[in-house]
Structure 1
């Protein structure tokens, strides 16, 4: 099922003029269709109706319909895309829900603090995504690199396995409480007021990676570590669209000079 990501054309039961319309739940690589239906039900009980599915293994599916138990409208309006980058392209705040410590170093938030950040960004007019990974393996490192911060549910360490739909329910509940109460907790992961959309930032990172290769910055070393650190640095600054265009102009000149010097392999 295809539907536009823009909240202004989203056909769900939520009031499209409300803050809820700027908050989306993103499920990445979901393996069991019943979990999609259960997540839709968890969302609807808390007033969230924007569901984005990234490369689900089985959807649409009758098991998803059955487990939705009345949240059929959420499933019908679900957006299906192939990559997480597509799912969050217009977002100013992306929070990845993960139960593990990964090589990707992100600020780690508890659900309540994350909800306060979601509320603050959505109230300011920004698009927000709460991202959940695969049932068994969660979000991959490359997917976490697309997030501004990580959210960890402090479950019992002796039995920390949490069903996907249950995790969605926990975060959806905290977001609803933040919306109802005005988010008393201070947000710590909001974007800058004029932060550029995610797609513009990713375009800059792609050009930066190409430029570093063109000028032989890595000197034969693997580029992964340097790019992770540079991503964190620029994400923290909250670049706006004008700043990104300026930086991309600098990179374009650096690439041109590399070509003149005969260094650019392209």
Structure 2
């Protein structure tokens, strides 16, 4: 990843270049660019261009200033209000992606940048269309194991519910400073995610019960029991009186009564 300057529009940009040994994967890089370019949302890092130079593919993206959520979590749990707001914004980004039939497949703290204007979801590099199988069914599951949904380890394709498991893990980590399952090896961790209940959250003064309930539903083994990204975004935003931007076409079925919606942007304040 490089910092660059767009000479045409006179703006700073980020340029993601494939490593030399991966340069043959032009179609994969083009897919990443197309997936992310469809997502015009304030909580998604924008994609400006795609191209190749000396047969090496690259993507030109919005330069996002800030620190990753993983850097903020290095010292342990963060204030629950901040963590819930961050996850509300991530959920809103996922709602926009899922509305375009795109799943991220790697929601984790290292892919969330915290900026003065809010959280930004980065790296749609392993994004896929909802329901698409992995490129190599016999290869490793795409994503970071600690945030991968249990059904993915059983060979099921990525779905919107898969991203919601990652969001639940992210929310748990923000609230507690640790993962829902602590095991000594990656194999034991995967087994725990697939078969064990998450460890109980510590007592957190003032944390609303509906946030705890939503977290439990996101981490459900059965993907059909997980909430949609839209529901999660609105519920989490309501818990901290925050604003999130969600697809207008999906507002009607949400079982949360908004206090106001600002037409025509879809800006919602819970």
TM-score strictly above 0.5: no
Larger radius of gyration: 1
TM-score by length of 2: 0.29
Query: Which has the larger share of strand?
Result: 2
